[in-house]
Amino acid sequence: MSESLGQRPWMTAPETTAVLDALEAAGGPDCARFVGGCVRNTLIGKPVSDLDIATRLTPEAVTAALKAAGLKAVPTGVEHGTVTAVCRGKPFEITTLRRDVATDGRRAVVAFTDDWAEDAQRRDFTLNSLYARRDGTLFDPTGHGVADARAGRIVFVGEAEQRVREDFLRILRFFRFFAWYGTPPPDAAALEACEALRGELKTLSAERVSRELLKLLAADDPRPAVALMARTGVLGEVLPAPIDLARFEGLVAIEDDQLFENDPLLRLAALLPDDQLGAVRFAEALRLSNAERDRLAAALAPAPALKSWMSPREIRRTLYRLGAQPFRDRAKLAWARAPRTAATPQWRGMIALGEGWSPPPFPLTGEDVIAAGAPKGPMVGQVLREVEDWWVDHDFIDDRLSTIEKLKSVVQGMAF
């Protein structure tokens, strides 16, 4: 008797029912099955987010079936058999069963099939080659997916080196899935193939590499996977040297101990050298967004250095100069490099202050400077900066009269 996942809420939700009804109206019962992550995660008790569906219907038939049912059909990857259905705002990625005709390590030419087992053989890992009917009946065409998923074994379908040669991104995917779902020890054949072909990662598009890397670093505890990447030389293929494993491991430990949210971009910063310009070049080479690039650069700037013994006044001054996000990032990175038992309350208090304190607005404007006797022009900004420095050094003194008096003394002392 086939094993069953049982009836789960995501299987019977109105949106899911509408999509499956539309497909079955065109292709008959069991023309479509859930596949991949939603099946795997349900099997091992993990949350389900994305719903992927495999079907015998061609992409054209899928599109026609969805439209006939009044559902939106988006041609997100028709050349590879994928159409995205949207029902009540929820997307469903629907892919026609397929087999590889030709691969070059970066992209594949596919042909469509109606054979579930043939479709399973072209997938990456056994735990991702699981299918389920809408009633929960489970299908494991490789014969190993269910056992591997439950045991935390990340095993390539078929011969590991062949799977990697078909798509070199599978090297990073192996470590990503090991970080999210794996249990040591890693599969020896998979690890050997990834190590042997690691140099091919340089042939991949930067966007694919960065996406996969950040997904890997978003795992609850990616330390074992990243350590494996370093040991096999894979990490050195995607990150500039020197790689700071100790700081990275310290940061993950802090996030875990202090219940901070997992922060993949900051974890990436922890691995990178303390080189602001290098961080910018790396971010641009990896095609990260401008916001991600700027955050990495700010986190890895050389000064000012944050120390656990800084006074609240010093912390406020530094926070004002850096801004809230860079301050928190740099505090966590500095803490991650410190001994694990050292000054935890001080670091925690520093970060809490960085999260809870908002600096007051500087009480002067350019008009105040001109009213004090400075001529219009560049000198106005110079005067404002000098008075602002005094105001910050006096811990953001809440006394406009004192600030005006300081302004007057600065103006009087300048030669115009």
Note down pLDDT in tens along the chain; length 416 residues: 479 999 999 999 999 999 999 999 999 999 999 999 999 999 999 999 999 999 999 999 999 999 999 999 999 887 888 999 999 999 999 999 998 776 766 676 778 899 999 999 999 999 999 999 999 999 999 999 999 999 999 999 999 999 999 999 999 999 999 999 999 999 999 999 999 999 999 999 999 999 999 999 999 999 999 999 999 999 999 999 999 999 999 999 999 888 788 999 999 999 999 999 999 999 999 999 999 999 999 999 988 889 999 999 999 999 999 999 999 999 999 999 887 666 788 999 999 998 888 888 999 999 999 998 888 888 899 999 999 999 999 999 888 899 999 999 988 887 65
Please say whether the beta carbons of 282 and 269 come within 8 A: no
- As a whole number of angstroms, the distance between CA 180 and CA 193 comes to 20
pLDDT at 1: 47
What pLDDT, on the 0 to 100 scale, is given for residue 148?
Answer: 97
Widest CA span in the chain:
93
The backbone torsions φ and ψ at residue 76, rounded to the nearest 5 degrees and listed phi first, read -75, -20
From the list 210, 212, 326, 219, the residue with the least C-alpha distance to 262 is 219
Paired with 138 in beta bridges are 132
Domains, the chain: 1-150 (3.30.460.10), 152-238 (1.10.3090.10), 299-356 (no CATH), 366-412 (no CATH)
Q: Give me the residues paired with residue 265 across strands.
A: none
Task: Tell me what pLDDT residue 342 has.
Answer: 66
State which H helix or E strand residue 94 sits in. Answer: strand 90-96
d(CA 65, CA 401): 74
Q: Which residues contact 146 (CB under 8 A, 6 or more apart)?
A: 3, 43, 130, 138, 140
Cα–Cα nearest to 255, from 227, 226, 297, 219:
219
Cα separation, 37 vs 357, whole angstroms: 41
* Residue given tokens 């304190």 in the structure block: 357
pTM reported for the whole predicted model? 0.90
| Amino acid identity, position 390 | W
Copy the structure tokens of residue 61: 């038939």
